[in-house]
Amino acid sequence: MESYEILWNNALVDLQNTMHHTAYSTFIKSLTAVDLKNGKVIIWCKTNLIAETVNKKYADYIRAAVSKASNGVIADYELIVGADKSTAGNQTKKFTESAPSATFTGSPVNPKFTFDSFVVGSSNELIYAAAKSVAENPGESFNPLFIYGGTGLGKTHILMAIANELKIKQPSKTVLYATCEQFTNQLIDSISKGKNNSAEFRSTFRGVDILLIDDIQFLSGKQSTQSEFFHTFNELIMQNKQIVLASDRPPHEIEVLEERLRTRFEGGLLADVQKPDIETRIAILKKKAEEKKVIVDIKVLSYIAEKSDEDIRSLIGKLTKVIFASQLHEKPINIDLVNEALKESVTDIQEEVKIDDIISCVADFYKIKKSDMLGKKKNKEFVEPRQICIYLITELLNLPLVTIGQKMGGRDHATVIYARDKIADLLKLDITLATQVNDLKNLILKK
């Protein structure tokens, strides 16, 4: 049972005790919680008449009951009307999926990485505003937009948010998101296959309206790749096509980078992202807890935020670990559980568990060869263990996504993000998979 269902069941008990029996039986008893969103519990009801009556006469009762059941964490509700409550929580999703979509090539774009899911604070408000402007008017402002900052601070999120925004708002635009590693690999592949493939490569990267390149710092020292990217860059800029680049450092700190590229990178807007302050860290944790449909007291979120001044990815990793401990031991999330769940630091785990241990353990568990799991085969018996392996590595080890991708058969970090998030979503729905992943965690940690 999801946490919002538990919350609503507890609220119903309170409502039954505080409301008149007839009113409760007629209007409240049939209401069902279907989601938790924007600080509200989302409640399904069958008809507009019930919704209008509830909102007009019993709203204060519901707010009080919900607030009491969640210890003040959730203080409001929203009604959704529909004939079938099983589809109520998917209304927004279905609407989005039916909209026309832009053409995407390159690395997969995670649909969860949107501007709405990006938490804005003093450390990233400039980047957020610039990226929104680019998504609204590509090619007209901040071209190129060069985003830089340490790992795990949201650069990839912003790139994908631009892509997802354009997919909805300007579906006729052709958008390409790729990592620098992918650009390099496709260039090498096109050269090895001859002239026709080189022409196709150039058409792919130069025939777009918006080009988003992640980890551009990996151009360093690659002379042929730099030359090709220089001409791609020039052609797109001359056509007023938008370019957005992300790097872990500013252009002048990228070693062995041609001066002509450096000056072009610096010709637009340079925007750096810093580590989030305490208020932003709390806001991030609150949003992530809501996305996971878990109710966590603000005092607990503040405690976790105070214990971590690291990057966003590590911060969310701690929250995930606490939620997992709560579900595993069937305990409420409080300060004591946080201390218990986080008492073994990431460093302690890394000293005991190596990435090769996880890879071997997953391959053995599913009775497949490591070479097949790390290879390019698309068979389900290899793809799912591969994605589970990536998920477990991101859960148990604090490693850069690029490093994980390299160990997992030379995959880019966008693929790592996609695999991690896909398994995280499936774990909420598939009890069998959740049991397998828990068993794997225990096997790995006991090795």
The reply to whether 278-343 shares the fold of 103-272 is no
User: Cβ–Cβ contacts within 10 Å for residue 321, how many?
Assistant: 19
pLDDT band (50, 70, 90) for residue 415: confident
CATH architecture designation of domain 347-446: Orthogonal Bundle (1.10)
- The CATH classification number of 278-343 equals 1.10.8.60
Q: Which residue has the tokens 């031991």?
A: 329
**CATH among 3.30.300.180, 3.20.20.70, 3.10.620.30, 3.90.1170.50 for 3-92:** 3.30.300.180
**Residue ranges of the domains in the chain?**
3-92, 103-272, 278-343, 347-446
pLDDT in tens, 205-239: 888 899 999 999 989 888 889 999 999 999 999 99
pLDDT in tens, 46-59: 888 888 888 888 88
* Contacts for 97 with CB less than 8 Å, ≥ 6 apart: none
Q: What is the pLDDT of residue 36?
A: 84
pLDDT band (50, 70, 90) for residue 429: confident
Query: Is the pLDDT confidence value at 106 over 80?
Result: no
Query: Is the pLDDT confidence value at 272 over 70?
Result: yes
In the predicted model, what is the mean pLDDT of the chain? 82
Are 137 and 64 spatial neighbours (Cβ–Cβ below 8 Å)? no
**CATH among 3.40.50.800, 3.30.70.270, 3.40.50.300, 3.40.640.10 for 103-272:** 3.40.50.300
Rounded Cα gap, residues 64 and 165, in angstroms: 37
Measured CA to CA in angstroms, residue 60 lies from 66, 75, 98, 139 at distances of 10, 10, 36, 49
Taking the complete model, does pTM exceed 0.85, yes or no? Answer: no
pLDDT in tens, 358-397: 999 999 999 999 999 999 888 888 989 999 999 999 888 8
